[in-house]
Amino acid sequence: MQSSIQLPGSNILFNISLTSSSVLQIVKESQQQHGLRHGDFQRYRYLLLILMDAERAWSYAMQLKQEANTEPRKRFHLLSRLRKAVKHAEELERLCESNRVDAKTKLEAQAYTAYLTGMLRFERQEWKAAMEAFNKCKTIYEKLASAFTDEQAILYNQRVEEISPNIRYCAYNIGDQSAISELMQMRLRSGGTEGLLAEKLESLITQTRAKQAATMSEVEWRGRTVPVKIDKVRIFLLGMADTEAAIAQAEEEETKERLFESLLSECRDAIQAVREELKPDQKQREHSSEVDSGKVTNIQYLHSYLTYIKLSTAIKRNESMAKALQKALLQQQQPEEDGKRTARPQDLIRLYDIILQNLAELPQLPGLEEDKGYLKEIGIKTLVYKAYRCFFIAQSYVLVKKWSEALVLYDRVLKYANEVQAQAGTYKNSLKELPDVQELITQVNAEKYSLQAAAILDAGDNHEIESPSQVKDGKPLSERFETFCLDPSLVSKQASLVHFPPEFQPIPCKPLFFDLALNHVTLPPLEDKVEQKAKSGLTGYIKGIFGFRS
């Protein structure tokens, strides 16, 4: 909930967010930390007051910067608050010149002042002064980081990484044209910048790519040149090389995955832009005389090219994830930790299933149906990933001790791998990025020997020489009460206690009786009784009531 207040003697209204805060608790905790516990009322750290004033002015400036995107007038207030923050920082630096302050605090105060000064100059677009301030801040933090332990140096190094893009941006605006490429790489590696530089860098990169896109008129793929007239597609194709370079340089898997997702998102946007251009093109083809010619238009071929990039990027992303899972499987020598799921071969099987699905879509792209070289490459790639998928299926069978199934799958892996080596031939240059098949063959041969040894050992454990007391004749427990033998199955879920269902046994049949004499019996006549009953009438009824019977 918000409310507005007006300060006395001022026409400015302030919106105040009503929040809940334990004032007494905050006061008491601060007093306990700063001297009241020992009765030392002058122990309070005065430097922290000025530092908090500077941080308060800086944080307000950052809030105003967000609001200035929609309300440009607040930019003046933003610069005012930054000047206030610099003023407090300079006061802090002056106080730290005292002999009571150690050298580390003096250096940190100087770096803090230089940082806020650089931010103010940056907002005022005084590039040279801003770069000098940021360089001073960077130098001090680098020296502090080298003077302390690794744990303490992390914070200093983070601040150095934070201001490095600002320095390169200032250098670009001064006239260093090489800084733009470094800024792009920094942005891609770090996943985007924050603070003052974020919006400016995004705008700069967009403008630079737009200028480069203006000179890009066509693209060549698979021996065919097609014009590129859509700006979004031009910008995507120009930025794709930078993103791929950043992926190659990335060391952490999370960074790679984020870059892959960014590239796929941009590719989908470009494909959507091409689809919108395809709709009127298809209507024109329906009314033209070239409907039956079967030739793919330039815009359709460009759509196929972008779809190829999307599917190929998805394959590379899944392959990168598969490599990370393979490393995890190799390093996994201990049982699962509580609440943490470890890597399994089934996870890799799923990734290779997705890769094979993407490969199955590639031959169906319009305009490539008659490209035999292209289809041959896709066929070889399919064999490679089938081999790896089959290998990890075999690994999953090994985990459950299904030796025969795993051995058959290992032979299938060798079959796929040998087919790849036989068919590669002139396509080796285009297949360099694929996983090494020869390494897989070596690994499979080693796994086969290990599997055979494990199968023999397992068979030995299951067929130990049994003593006479362990020999069973297959009878259930109900039929061998008089004979002692050790039967482990009695404590399992498949204990043989009785024959169930019970076997059929012969029993005497129940005799059947047929009443055939009735057909030969002569019944006595009943006419006399029928007539007597008929004559009785009312008289008989009355006699019956009073109990008179004849």
Average pLDDT by consecutive 10-residue portion of the chain (550 residues)?
43 44 63 59 67 89 85 88 93 88 88 92 90 91 85 86 83 69 56 50 61 72 86 83 80 84 90 86 58 72 92 92 85 55 81 93 88 88 92 89 88 90 76 81 87 78 50 72 74 81 84 80 80 56 56
236, 267 contact by CB (below 8 A): yes
Annotate 159-177 with DSSP letters as a single string. Answer: HHHHHHHHHHHHHHHHT-T
Nearest CA among 362, 358, 412 for reference residue 390: 412
Alpha-carbon distance of 250 to 239, in angstroms, equals 17
Contacts of residue 247, Cβ cutoff 8 Å, sequence gap at least 6: 256, 259, 260, 263
Alpha-carbon distance of 280 to 457, in angstroms, equals 70
pLDDT at 209: 62
**SS3 for 191?**
coil
What letter does residue 472 receive in the DSSP assignment? -
Q: Which CATH number fits domain 21-32+43-175: 3.40.190.80, 3.40.50.300, 1.10.3450.40, 2.60.40.10?
A: 1.10.3450.40
Alpha-carbon distance of 238 to 216, in angstroms, equals 9
Q: Is 114 exposed, middle or buried (0-12, 13-18, 19+ CB in 10 A)?
A: buried
314, 264 contact by CB (below 8 A): yes
**SS3 for 302?**
helix
Alpha-carbon distance of 432 to 453, in angstroms, equals 35
Structure tokens at 474: 């297959």
Cα separations (Å) of 376 from 107, 288, 312, 319, 369?
65, 34, 16, 20, 11
What letter does residue 288 receive in the DSSP assignment? S
Annotate 34-48 with DSSP letters as a single string. Answer: TTGGGT-TT-S-HHH
Nearest CA among 322, 164, 182, 212 for reference residue 256: 322
pLDDT at 186: 57
Neighbours of 261 (CB within 10 A): 12
Structure tokens at 84: 């206030």
437, 384 contact by CB (below 8 A): yes
Alpha-carbon distance of 498 to 293, in angstroms, equals 78
Alpha-carbon distance of 443 to 414, in angstroms, equals 10
Q: What residues form DSSP beta bridges with 6?
A: 13
Q: Name residue, tokens 């480069």.
A: 212
CA 336 vs. chain centroid, Å, equals 21
Alpha-carbon distance of 324 to 72, in angstroms, equals 47
Structure tokens at 61: 């400036």
Cα separations (Å) of 420 from 115, 348, 362, 423?
58, 21, 19, 5
Q: What residues form DSSP beta bridges with 224?
A: 221
Neighbours of 62 (CB within 10 A): 14
pLDDT at 206: 62
Q: Could you tell me the pTM of the whole model?
A: 0.57
**SS3 for 5?**
strand
Contacts of residue 216, Cβ cutoff 8 Å, sequence gap at least 6: 228, 234, 237, 238
369, 217 contact by CB (below 8 A): no
Alpha-carbon distance of 174 to 180, in angstroms, equals 12
Contacts of residue 213, Cβ cutoff 8 Å, sequence gap at least 6: 231, 234, 235, 238
